[in-house]
Amino acid sequence: MKFTKMHGCGNDYVYVNCFNETIDDPGKVAKFVSDRHFGIGSDGMICICPSDKADFRMAMYNSDGSEGAMCGNGVRCIAKYVYDYGLTDKTTITIETKAGIKELKLTVEDGKVTWVRVDMGAPIMEASEIPAIYDELDEIIDQPVIVDGKEYKITCVSMGNPHGVVFVDSVDDLDLEKIGPKFENHAMFPDRVNTEFIEVIDENTLKMRVWERGAGETLACGTGACASAYAAYLNHKTGKKVLVHLTGGDLQIEYDEEKNTIFMTGPATKVFDGEIELP
Ligand SMILES: N[C@H](CCC[C@H](N)C(=O)O)C(=O)O
């Protein structure tokens, strides 16, 4: 199987051009290639597929083989892939995902895509749609949750995939390996959850660490940065536009209230091309 290793702010995936490759059991292949010792090493696998509704279609799989509906860093990298490899010459493209069709605007320098702005769509707060269960609440905003004997306050947002946003005093002090899985598998999230731990630096800046559903701690999460920026705005901690410092880089997130949509702008980077024999 031919592949390209790419990342957005260090959130790395194995990208497969499914115009040329056929993958019978993508969940199993994702698990194999993601292994950092016995495989290629990545947070998961992303398939770039034809679409009858948009220019391209994304299918994303976590490193544990589970399928995710949406991936913010992934759609930016697909934009770079399809432009740089000549699958399109358009600088505004649409990508179909399991969370709807996203529009992306590409910045091209010296013939290559460097930067991508994505219309990520509306944040979803309805608990049943996330899905998240908290008493009879329709929306879960700044609610106490006890994890590992400690009380945290959580705000739940879907960006097409489920997120729990937790504001903390310092993200550096967290033992994510210990608390991450407890949030991910908490009884309030029937489909598990991606958890963002957020330190508010000032009204324009957030610092974030993430424990992703199906992948563990990753260096960045685009949908998570959007969910966190919206949660920070809802909780009156920031304005509508913030810079999010993630472990592997920065993303600019802007909530457009009039359109009720979130714009995410960030880098997309190719690491290398390769070929792997699948077991
Ligand atoms: N890293 C991705 C999100 C992956 C989400 C996945 N872990 C799930 O929802 O199961 C991003 O940049 O948005």
- Give the Cα separation of 62 and 42 in Å (integer): 9
Q: Looking at the structure, do residues 110 and 146 belong to the same domain, yes or no?
A: no
Name which residue sits closest to atom 8 of ligand 1, judged by CA. Answer: 68
Q: Looking at the structure, do residues 144 and 171 belong to the same domain, yes or no?
A: yes
pLDDT digit string, tens, across residues 101-112: 999 999 999 999
Q: Dmax over Cα atoms in the chain, in whole Å? A: 54
**Residue of 58, 60, 71, 97 with the most ligand 1 atoms within 8 Å of its CB, for mutation:** 71
Q: DSSP letters of 231-257?
A: HHHHTTSS-SEEEEEETTEEEEEEEET
One-letter identity of residue 167: F
Q: Looking at the structure, do residues 141 and 103 belong to the same domain, yes or no?
A: no
Tell me if 97 CB under 6 Å of ligand 1: no
Q: Looking at the structure, do residues 102 and 191 belong to the same domain, yes or no?
A: no
Q: Looking at the structure, do residues 135 and 103 belong to the same domain, yes or no?
A: no
Average pLDDT over residues 112-134: 98
Average pLDDT, the chain: 98
Segments forming the whole domain that contains residue 255: 127-259
**Residue of 61, 70, 104 with the most ligand 1 atoms within 8 Å of its CB, for mutation:** 70
Number of separate domains in the chain: 2
Is 221 one of the catalytic residues? yes
Q: Looking at the structure, do residues 190 and 82 belong to the same domain, yes or no?
A: no
- Whole-model pTM: value is 0.98
Q: Looking at the structure, do residues 114 and 228 belong to the same domain, yes or no?
A: no
Q: Looking at the structure, do residues 96 and 133 belong to the same domain, yes or no?
A: no
Query: Looking at residue 189, which CATH number applies to its domain?
Result: 3.10.310.10
C-alpha 163 to ligand 1 mean position (Å) = 9
Q: Looking at the structure, do residues 255 and 140 belong to the same domain, yes or no?
A: yes
C-alpha 269 to ligand 1 mean position (Å) = 17
Q: Looking at the structure, do residues 108 and 217 belong to the same domain, yes or no?
A: no
The answer to whether 164 touches 195, Cβ cutoff 8 Å, is: yes
pLDDT digit string, tens, across residues 169-225: 999 999 999 999 999 999 999 999 999 999 999 999 999 999 999 999 999 999 999
| ipTM of the complex model | 0.99
The answer to whether the annotation marks 72 as part of a ligand binding site is: yes
Q: Looking at the structure, do residues 74 and 133 belong to the same domain, yes or no?
A: no
**What are the C-alpha distances in Å from 271 to residues 5, 15, 35, 268?**
5, 11, 17, 10
Q: Looking at the structure, do residues 188 and 88 belong to the same domain, yes or no?
A: no
Size of the chain, expressed as the number of residues it contains: 279
C-alpha 116 to ligand 1 mean position (Å) = 17
Name which residue sits closest to atom 2 of ligand 1, judged by CA. Answer: 71
pLDDT digit string, tens, across residues 23-48: 999 999 999 999 999 999 999 999 99
Q: What integer pLDDT is reported at residue 123 of this predicted model?
A: 98
